[in-house]
Amino acid sequence: MNTKATGYRLKSVDVPAVWGRTLKSLVTLVESNYTPTLVIQQLLKQGGIDALRNFTPETSPRMMPFHPGVKSPRKQDIEQARETFLSRYGEGLAAPDENHGYPPVTVADYAHAYRTGSTTPAEVAERLIKRLQSQSADINAIINFNEQHIRLQAQESARRLKENATRSPLEGVPVAVKDELDALPYATSVGTQIYGSDHSASDDATVVARLRDAGALIIGKANMQEIGIGVTGANPHFGVCRNPYDTDYHTGGSSSGSAAATASGLCPIAIAADGGGSVRIPAAFCGQVGLKATWARISEHGAAPLCWSLAHIGPIAATVDDTALAYLLMAGPDEQDPWTQSQPPVHLHDYFNDDLHGLKVGVYHPWFQHASEEIVDACQNGLAALKAQGALIKDAHINFLEEQRVAHVVSISTEMMNAVQAAYREDRTRFALDTRLNLGLSRHFTAHDYIQAQRVRQLAMNEFATAFKDVDVIATPTTGIVAPKINSKALPDGESNITDLSAIMRFVTPANLTGLPAITVPCGYTQSGLPIGLQLMGRAWEEHTLLRLARIVEGQFKRVRPMVYTDLLND
């Protein structure tokens, strides 16, 4: 790749992976107050800190990526779009074409099965409990569930169905919750042995409450990478989460269990969270759809406060339709999260319109091609699907991607260190080794580094605002590599693999830094059968456009049934 000719400077970080004794020694070195400053600075330099420290952006710091003053469709169009979507869901969406491969069990399938009496929520609950009792041996997606609570919810849904008082298409449908969000009657451990050990949550997180109020059957807490600080899905406390497409491979993280749960059929929808791709990465690795909405579109109330300026709650689902339904129910203002109060109305305007004439899809080709050949080829096919429906594929350009990468690293690690500093100071040995390495290094970022990162955030927001004057969405692969193989030598303590981490996160972090919405949708598989995702980024508050385009991409590809899958409606 001729980076000088294109101006493309985003680096592929090349640092040897470490685990076992080597990782322990490195952690000791980083945590020691006696380690020479030059040694620490050399480690930071390997990660690219000089790109930030030697940069002079002509922007003021932007501490939160909020996007005010956005024009919305007319109120009557918004209401009509919502009613149309829910009506079509209530009637049952069209059956999938057999040419598109195995059809995952969807929310619409549950609604149809309950409506026709082919099964009941109680029967689904018993099948689910039986599967939850065994799933830790293969995929390890759900780390905490309560049989009595599952049965009670199923009984309540059955009563409402009998009384024709269903609350939404989600009535009696299983939904998993990432262990980063509060959900009764469970504790919230955030993937650690530190938090949540002494008590359960006192209330549901807002998004959990909204889905529960819509009739969802909350099945339990989903596995995750400790405090959300990694992207493989490994967890030494609860065990590694394994990919349903091949259990020798990672799910991606940090929302590992959420993606594995939907991919394996435990639920069609799971709640996840994304500070640096943690919705989109595991969704892509597990062949699912994952939506990171605009910053402050979905309430953070009841989620562990880990990275305030980067965090986004979002759904992972088996299909785009289910993702759209979850988004419609989860999003919107929440009086308990002030940042959500100033958003435009949530809507799915034009969602079922397959005619893409007039829509422009931007591609920054050097960035798009900075991935494995199989990924690039599959994502090119995704673009072809959009073009076939009338979309115009157009060149785009984004400057300062390397500076954005480092700004995200500094921002998320600094904010996470601040969030957990009390527990870290009390007994840091209770954290996993790779977590301690990341937190230990973050102590050496300076106030200047953090402010520089926020200046780059504003610069990045300006760059994408300029790009979105010419295009409606920007397409990239979701990840630079597919799911990596689980290193059995590194279990259970985990490993630090910065090379893989940087490749996995290459395309996802700008959306976190800028607060712009992004979605991943399956667009193919490698020759070995691992899923590939296409990412679409959009303007602030235009999730409806991303969902509309993702639905078209999804409809053009033949899906493959995962190695580990349970059909709770029939099995």
The residues assigned a catalytic role are: 178, 254, 278
- The C-alpha R_g of the chain, in whole angstroms, comes to 22
Helix or strand run (H / E) with residue 424: helix 401-427
- Closest of 210, 137, 218, 157 to residue 185, by C-alpha: 218
219 bridge partner residues: none
Helix or strand run (H / E) with residue 115: helix 107-116
- In contact, 283 and 339? CB cutoff 8 Å: no
Q: Where are the beta strands (DSSP E) in 95-204?
A: 142-144, 174-178
Both structure tokens of 245: 């497409």
CA–CA gap between residue 469 and residue 273 (Å, rounded): 29
Both structure tokens of 92: 């049952």
- In contact, 437 and 27? CB cutoff 8 Å: yes
CA–CA gap between residue 322 and residue 325 (Å, rounded): 5
Residue 406 amino acid letter: V
Residue 332 CB neighbour total at 10 angstroms: 16
Residue labelled with tokens 């959900």: 183
Alpha-helical regions (H) of 443-515? 447-467, 498-504, 509-514
* Total residue length of the chain: 571
Number of alpha carbons in the 13 Å side-chain half-sphere of residue 264 = 30
